[in-house]
Amino acid sequence: MKRISVVVLLFILAACTANLGNVPWDSDIMNWIPEKRANFFMKAWMAEKANYDAMNAIENKSESLVKALKIKHEVLEKSRVPVRAYAKIVKNKGVPPDDMENAIIGWLRELQMQYLY
């Protein structure tokens, strides 16, 4: 069981970091239509939440993983409502504030980078 957990952990880490250097989404995203941005934010947040859940399910976590998961949980919680609010504003044909968009991008990058340190 422990060996499977390690394999799953390595797979998740590889999947999460595979495109960090290849796709500058945080600069290209400004060219996307609002609906595409909202969809991306929701999917990215949900993927990070699924990653957190998978990592948190590992038995006998190391101290560094426990620390990383605590930080990831905090970022997920503080970004949950703004990501949903952004999507709702766009769905209702509104224009989300730039500072909201910038905060969401910052949180998503923070979530992606969490396990690299």
Place of tokens 């949980």: 73
Each residue's pLDDT tens digit, 46-85: 999 999 999 999 999 999 999 999 999 999 999 999 999 9
End-to-end Cα separation, the chain, in angstroms: 26
Angle between helices 34-56 and 98-113 (to 10 degrees): 30
Q: What is the DSSP string of 52-92?
A: HHHHHT-SS--HHHHHHHHHHHHHHHHHHHHHHHHHHHHHT
pTM value is 0.73
Q: What span, in angstroms and rounded, lies between the C-alpha atoms of 55 and 89?
A: 32
pLDDT for the residue 28: 78
Angle between helices 2-17 and 34-56 (to 10 degrees): 160
pLDDT for the residue 26: 60
pLDDT for the residue 30: 77
Q: In sequence order, what are the residues at sequence separation of 6 or more whose Cβ sits closer than 8 angstroms to the Cβ of residue 80?
A: 45
**Residue 44 vs residue 2, higher pLDDT:** 44
Q: What is the mean predicted confidence (pLDDT) over 106-115? A: 83
pLDDT for the residue 7: 45
